[in-house]
Structure formats: structure tokens, C-alpha cells
Chains A and B, each alone.
Chain A
Amino acid sequence: MILNVINLCKSFGTRKALCDFSSEIRPGIVTGLLGPNGAGKTTLIRIILGIIKPDSGSVEFSGKSSVYKGLLGYVPEENALYGKSKVLDNLLYYASLKNLDKADAKKEAKNLLEMLGAYEYSDKYVETLSKGNKQKVQIAASLIHNPEIIIWDEPFSGLDPIAREVVIDLMRDRAKSGKIFIVSTHQLDSAEKFCDSFLLLNQGKLLLEANLAEAKSEFTGNTLEIETNAPVTYITSLPGVQGAVRENSKLIVSFNNQFDKKEFISKINTQYDIFTLSHHTATIKDIFFKMVGQL
């Protein structure tokens, strides 16, 4: 069952947070929700979750014009747990709001906490946990009722590398089992690992909706990886260059169709040195920077 987002518009005062946004989000894959700050990601998530109402447009799922809230699982960006309550109590409360039976909720809570390596904290008060462990509990809370639509906002916040891998595996498993999985993140390197497709937003508009592999091959042809002592400002001033971003000792340079590689090299060589030059395989980060135009 596809999640249909149709012509969503939402304004806050004079600011347009979403502008005629449409997309078909498919199950079975992890869909990344990318965009700079203020792009409209959170507004989109809140509308899908039914937290706020759009000015126009609709969200359809399973032939209905709104999503039944029991089918939703959500991890917000901030710690959204009751600090004065125990971990298990938090999970059981959220599960009860999703109409899950208490016995089933306990069983599922145990499974999820074990999977995430947080079972030992079941009887601990949330306020005593580290940020990473709180995040694990939140993730468990979002999955406890086996929702059809899972939305995670910055799920890796506070997680160590091992926990991060566990969470990615969990994400992939759930997606493979036919769930709709949407993950909003600014961590583009991580997004590369788990996204099958992505929606790129900027200023309330959908800039790009693509399968990750296809997008990467499309963008790879127009990017060079160069090691040089030339400054970024000089590189971006050259003809045909759309932008450049520094990544460690290298510069990732994206260019348009008017770009002449020989002219580019000779111009740099007149004033600076080029140490290495190769074709760059585009990453989400490159696509992001190119599309959002922040190079």
C-alpha cells in the first residue's frame, strides 16, 4: 500500500512551509527525507502524522483520506520520553495509545529492547539514561505496535557506531517486511547507507524524488575529484563549474554541460598545482549540494 501525498500546501503566517508537495511513498524501501533547515521536512512529517492540518491537499493511505493513527510509528528529533517514569512504563503507555494489548506490548518491548541492547534498562527511570540509550528506547517505542508507516526524524542522534549499525539493520528489516519507512536526517553519510530512495526538499518544494542508485549514476558524470592548492573560490569562478566542496584534502567539483575539462586543468595549472584528478562517484551529499545550490 502506497502512501500518497497529494498537493500539500501549508503556511505559517506569511511563510510557506510546504508548497504544492506531492509524492508517492512506496513500501518495502527506506525513503530518505533530505533538505536544509527550513526546507519543510518537519512540516511534512507532522502532516503525515496528523499532528497538524494542511492548508490544502491530502495524505491518502489504504484508500482513505487520512492515515489511521494506530498505523503510525514515530521517532521525533528530541527525546520524547517521560523522564520521571521507567523505560518499560513509557513503552507500555505509548503502546496502549496505539491500542496494543498490555501483554503483547510487554513481549514486544522485551524483544525490541533486547535487539537494541537496552533491555537491562527496562526498570530504570528514563532521566537516568544516556542520550543514546534514550534514543534506543524511542526507537523501540516507535516499533512496538508493528506500524505500517514508520517515520524517524534524526534517528542516529546520540547513538554509538555499533548501535547505529543495529538500527540500520532494524530499519532495513522492517522496510523489507513491507512497511513504509521514512527517515529524515541531516547526516548525509549515514543516509547513503540506508536509503533506497529519497525526497529532497528545499523551501517547501520537492526538488528531487529519486531512487538513490539511479540518482548517483546520473550525477556521477558531472563531478570531478581534485587535489589542488587552489582555493575553492578560484575553482568556482572557472567557466562551467557549478560548485565545489572540500572533503578532507580533496575538492569535489561539479560542473555543467558547458564545462571543458582541458581548459579547466590548464587554467588551474597557470597559477596553482594539481596533485591528483579523477572522476568522482556522486554521493547523496553531492546531489544535495548540487540541487540545493549551497556549494
Chain B
Amino acid sequence: MKHVIQIALWELKQKFARRSYLYITLLTPLILIFLIRFTTGGVSDRGTSPATIGIYNTSENFLKGFRNLSTNFGTYDNVQPDLIPINLGTLSAVDNYSEIDSILAKGIVDYVLLKNENEFQLFSKLFRRPSLISKIEMFASLSLSQSQHGVQLKPQNIFFETVDVNTGTNYSTVDFLKNTITIYLLPIIFVFVVVFAGNSFIRGFAQERQGRILEILLSSCSRNELFYGKIAGLLLATLVHLFIWWIVAKLFLESDFSFLTHTPLLGSLFFILGFLLYTALFIGLSGIITTENEAQHISSNLSLFLIIPLIFTTHVIASPNSILSSVLTYIPFTSPPVMLIKIQTESYTNNELIISAVILVISCLLLIKLAVRYFNNGLENLPNQ
């Protein structure tokens, strides 16, 4: 254990000695602030056009109230309401979601509000505007209250923060572009960190192997100590990265990242588990790499592999509760970025969270075991001069 700690601390020190590490540690928060603050600075909170909302199963009074509220509160370009309600009549069956999907897919309306007794379900496709959602909730709540005093609105399947109907809106103002960036940012940072750490590890390890540093290390400690020391060092270096970025985000961007306040531990759990899973893969493969060229080749292929789960995140944002999204939360290689999105958008169920975390922990342990074996076998064939 002592050797593992010594190797880990040395790896961390080595990382600090590299310019690329310092650049990434310091430049990333600056880019982050730039992306959030400056690129979205000129974008209106109201989006680029009025949104339409189709409403099912409500009374004429409710619709009238909703229309009045949307006309009186917030207009788009001072001409028309930024939320235009359309009466869709009665849904053929309460759970006829395919009809709702079809309406949204065709672009007939941007949102669908379905009333079922005293509960509402709000549906929309990709890139909801949270400020608008909070407005919908508020309007729906008020419209309903006008006719049914004392009834509380219980929205379901609303993917962003919901409004407390007792106190009115408390939704933080996040515009469309900013919202998109913030949701995507965490999975992107995850992939970026894994790729950076994995690549720098594989290349560094190939250098150690070629330069015979590895022989000195292995004449002082066991292969397992070396493996765990390396992985711990990599994790430490990444945690330092994240800690610095977290402080920056907390100081300057807290209002943009609700998970920083609400679910930082959950986010960190999936981030770290995912990081361990992927870096175990990188370290395991590093055992068989003998030259820097090979290292470059393998690490670029692994980096491409990492983009695949990132592609799926688009679907998860659009349909967080779809079967595919649920399946992706259970696949170890896709679950970290997918869960990072679900945690941010609060669109996970407790079961999903627990099962996904358990699968990820087990996969991590299995993969680390496999990687140790691969790593050990690879070290049997050190270069000879």
C-alpha cells in the first residue's frame, strides 16, 4: 500500500511538471466561463420565436385563463405572447402518448400539456426552455386554481426544475443556448478528461518502458502496486483538475449549474466511476504497448471509442425516459455520460440510479481485474536493447 501511495504521489508530481497539464487546468475554466458568459450574453431568455403549446383535456375556462396569463405576462418582441396556447380537445385515451409524440414530431406545437384530473404532464422535444417551462407551470397552476381553489398542481415528466406553486416561480433564468451548453458540458468534460488522462498516461508509460524506468520501478515494487499506483496517480491528477474547475464553477457559474448545489455528490460519483472504468481500459492496454508510436495509435482509437457514448447523449436529452435512454444507463460504457445528463436534468428514477451505480461499480472492479492481468502479461515482454 505504501508503494501505491508513493507511486501515485509521484505520478501527480509528474503531471504538475508537464506544461500540458497546467494549460488544461488553467485554460479550461477560462473557456468554461467564456462559453457560459460571453457566447450566450446576447441571447434573449425568451428564445428566438414564440412557442406554441397544445393543451388537452381542459375546460374552456382553463384555456381562457391560460391565454390571458400568457398575453399579460411576457411578450415576444412586444407584439405577441411568447407562449401561444392551442386547444387540442380531448385525447382519445389518457395514455395515448403516440398521438402526443406525433404532434410534437411534426412540429405542430412545441409543447403539449395534458391534464388528467388534477395532474398535468408536460411534453416537449429537444431543447426545452426552462424559463418557459416554469411559466407554463405557473400559468397552468393559476388557471386551474381560478376554477378549483386549493388544488395543487403536480406536474409529471417535466424535465427541468419545477415551480413551487405555493410561492410562485423560483426558476433561475437560463436561456436556451446556455441551457444547452450547461447540459452537454459535463459529459463533454468527462470525455475530455478521460481522453486527456488516458492519452498522457499511455504515452508516458511507453516512454517509461522504452527508457527502462519501468525496470527500476519493477525492481522496487510489484506489478500490482505499480498498476494501482498509476491508476491512483491518474485519479488524483484528475481530481485536482476537477477541484479547481469546481471551485471556478461554484464561484462564477453556480446559477448556471444547478447540480453544483443540488447533486454534486451524485455527479461526482458517476464521474469518478466512469473515469476509473475508462482509465482501467487505458492502463490495461498500456501493458502491451512497447513504443510511443503504438501508444499514439491505440490512444487515438480509444478516444474515438469514447465519442460513441457522447453521441447517445443527444437522444437522452431529447427523450430521457425512453427505453433506449434507460438501457444506456445500464450499459457501463455509456452510463457515466448518460447519468451525468440525467442527474443534471433530474430525469432519473431512484431505481435507475441505484442499478446503474451498482453495475458501474461491478464493471469497474471486473475491468480493473482484467486490466491488471493484461498489464502484467504485457510486462513480461519488456524491450531489449
Residues of A within 8 A of B (CB): 12, 42, 46, 49-53, 69-70, 72, 74, 76-82, 84-85, 89, 93-94, 96-99, 141
A-B contact pairs, 24 of them (CB 8 A): A46-B382, A51-B215, A51-B379, A52-B380, A52-B382, A69-B219, A72-B219, A76-B212, A77-B212, A78-B210, A78-B212, A79-B212, A80-B213, A84-B17, A84-B18, A85-B13, A85-B14, A85-B17, A93-B6, A94-B216, A97-B3, A97-B6, A97-B7, A141-B216
From residue B3, how far is it (CB to closest CB) to chain A in Å? 6
Quick one: closest A residue to B220, CB to CB? A97
Contacts of A76 in B (CB 8 A): 212, 215-216
Q: Is the CB of B215 within 8 A of A97?
A: no
Flag whether B42 is at the interface (Cβ < 8 A). no
From residue B340, how far is it (CB to closest CB) to chain A in Å? 33
Give Cα A70 to B217, complex, Å. 11
Q: Is the CB of A74 within 8 A of B211?
A: no
Q: Is the CB of B220 within 8 A of A94?
A: yes
Q: Is the CB of B385 within 8 A of A51?
A: no
Q: Name 18 extra pairs, CB < 8 A, besides A51-B218, A69-B221, A80-B215.
A: A50-B218, A52-B379, A53-B380, A69-B219, A74-B216, A76-B215, A78-B210, A78-B385, A79-B212, A80-B213, A80-B216, A82-B213, A85-B13, A85-B17, A89-B13, A93-B10, A94-B216, A97-B221
Contacts of A141 in B (CB 8 A): 216
Contacts of B212 in A (CB 8 A): 76-80
Interface size class of B (residues with CB under 8 A): 20 to 34
Contacts of A74 in B (CB 8 A): 215-216, 219
Contacts of A51 in B (CB 8 A): 215, 218-219, 379, 382
Flag whether B381 is at the interface (Cβ < 8 A). yes
Contacts of B385 in A (CB 8 A): 42, 77-78
Q: Is the CB of A96 within 8 A of B379?
A: no
From residue B350, how far is it (CB to closest CB) to chain A in Å? 45
Interface centre among A46, A70, A72 (most CB of B within 10 A): A46
Interface residues of B in 366-385 (CB under 8 A from A): 379-382, 384-385
Quick one: closest A residue to B218, CB to CB? A51
Interface centre among B6, B14, B212 (most CB of A within 10 A): B212
From residue B287, how far is it (CB to closest CB) to chain A in Å? 13
Quick one: closest A residue to B215, CB to CB? A76
Quick one: closest A residue to B229, CB to CB? A97
From residue B8, how far is it (CB to closest CB) to chain A in Å? 12
Contacts of A97 in B (CB 8 A): 3, 6-7, 217, 220-221
Contacts of B13 in A (CB 8 A): 85, 89
From residue A68, how far is it (CB to closest CB) to chain B in Å? 11
Q: Is the CB of B14 within 8 A of A84?
A: yes
Quick one: closest B residue to A43, CB to CB? B384
Give Cα A42 to B383, complex, Å. 10
From residue B224, how far is it (CB to closest CB) to chain A in Å? 13
Give Cα A50 to B382, complex, Å. 13
Query: Contact check: which of A50, A81, A84, A96 meets B6 at CB < 8 Å?
Result: A96
Contacts of A53 in B (CB 8 A): 380
